Amino acid sequence: MRILLTFTYKMSLDFWNKTGILYREISLYKQLMNKKVKITFLTYGDKKELKYSNLLNGIKIISVLEFIYSKNNRIYFLKSLLLPFKLRREFKNFNIIKTNQLEGSWITWLAKILYRKKLIVRGGFEWLKFYILENASKKRKFIKYWLKYFWIYLIELISYKLADRIILTSELDIEFIIKTFKLRKKKKKIQLFYNFIDIDLFKPYNMKKKDKHVLFIGRFNYQKNLFNLLKAFKDLEGFTLDLIGDGEDYYKKELIEKAGYYSIKLNLLGTFPNNQLPEIINQYQIFILPSFYEGNPKVLLEAMSCGIPCIGTNVIGIKNLIKHKENGYLCETSSDSLRKAIMTLYNDGELRKKIGLKAREFVLNNCSINKIIDKEYNLYKSLFQ
């Protein structure tokens, strides 16, 4: 079986590496290579992407930036439409084409139609739903908002209609696309694959825990609700908030200023390669994800896999993973609710122990990379029957 994975529009192996997710993102495909599945990545990087060849276990790389690059976004997009023609020999050689996300999927439509290839459309998160949630509480420019809405809607509609199989990471995302895009007749072709976790890497370590330190990992942006999290620490005497991740410089500056205003202890620890995170996560008594919404958050699943008691907000994408006081602790997005959750968990060692064990059990049963590899491989085989 020869599989082409098309990267998210404008994404590259180099970007994955700089943001610390390279090891995690390639692990599934490296292990599929052991099942004699031939994988090729189509990335939006340049020829420097080839420096990752030794890490990829035989996965081939097609880098397209030098062909399509333009400072003008419209020209860049138009050039991307030419890729199935420019790379026709390569595209003809694959049995299955798969998207990594929905953005950029227009390349795969053309390849499917021109060369009659099987198409798997995957969304690590549901793009249209995220767009709606992201703009729900913002001041919106009416015309600009709806133009982009219909643009995303059109891309997803065509992608889902053309797909031979659809993979989503959340039951809620599946319900959303069936209703929004009238896909009830296609329901059997939609499959739920949780984001995979390497359970042999992300596992409990016998380590001393940092007292009164709470860990967050993720992108620093509006979605993650970090300002309410900072405010929650205002009255948590002696506690320290450690943030791993990155964001725009102005946002990081605001975080530091707010921490000073509230007189709280805040550490911006930067980013780390994904394979270094288990040792870091295991140093904490509490992990927190205070987001306004999520898809199927990998960082939460990784912390759960380490057996760390996790606090998550009672929102889309988190509440379908965490069962309150069973495998995690749910709270609201307000600073008061976040503060109460932290104090409750910190003061109840038995509860922390219980939900930590159950969290690990949940990941073992649902998100183990070995389970997802088997599901992925069987999905490929089903397209040949």
Residue 55 in tokens: 């890490």
pLDDT at 114: 95
pLDDT at 83: 96
Task: State CA 374 to chain mean position distance.
Answer: 20
pLDDT at 142: 81
pLDDT at 141: 75
What gap in Å lies between CA 14 and CA 22, rounded to an integer? Answer: 8
Q: How confident is the prediction along the chain (385 residues), in pLDDT tens digits per residue?
A: 899 999 999 999 999 999 889 999 999 999 999 998 999 999 999 999 999 999 998 999 999 999 999 999 999 999 999 999 999 999 999 999 999 999 999 999 999 999 999 999 999 899 999 999 988 766 667 888 999 999 999 999 999 999 999 999 999 999 999 999 999 999 999 999 999 999 999 999 999 999 999 999 999 999 999 999 999 999 899 999 999 999 999 999 999 999 999 999 999 999 999 999 999 999 999 999 999 999 899 999 999 999 999 999 999 999 999 999 999 999 999 999 999 999 999 999 999 999 999 999 999 999 999 999 999 999 999 998 6
pLDDT at 164: 97
Q: Which domains does the chain have, with CATH numbers?
A: 2-196+368-382 (3.40.50.2000), 210-366 (3.40.50.2000)
Question: Taking the model in full, what pTM does it have?
Answer: 0.89
Helices 369-382 and 22-33, interaxial angle, to 10°? 50
Residue 220 in 3-state DSSP? strand
pLDDT at 135: 86
Residue 43 in 3-state DSSP? strand
Tens of pLDDT, residues 295-354? 899 999 999 999 999 999 999 999 999 999 999 999 999 999 999 999 999 999 999 999
Report yes or no: 118 and 98 within 8 Å, Cβ to Cβ: no
Tally the C-alpha atoms within 13 A of residue 292's C-alpha that lie toward its C-beta.
Answer: 18
pLDDT at 97: 97
User: In Å, how far are 156, 162, 284 from 346, measured between CA atoms?
Assistant: 43, 50, 11
Say which residue the tokens 């249209």 belong to: 128
pLDDT at 66: 94
pLDDT at 44: 97
pLDDT at 134: 87
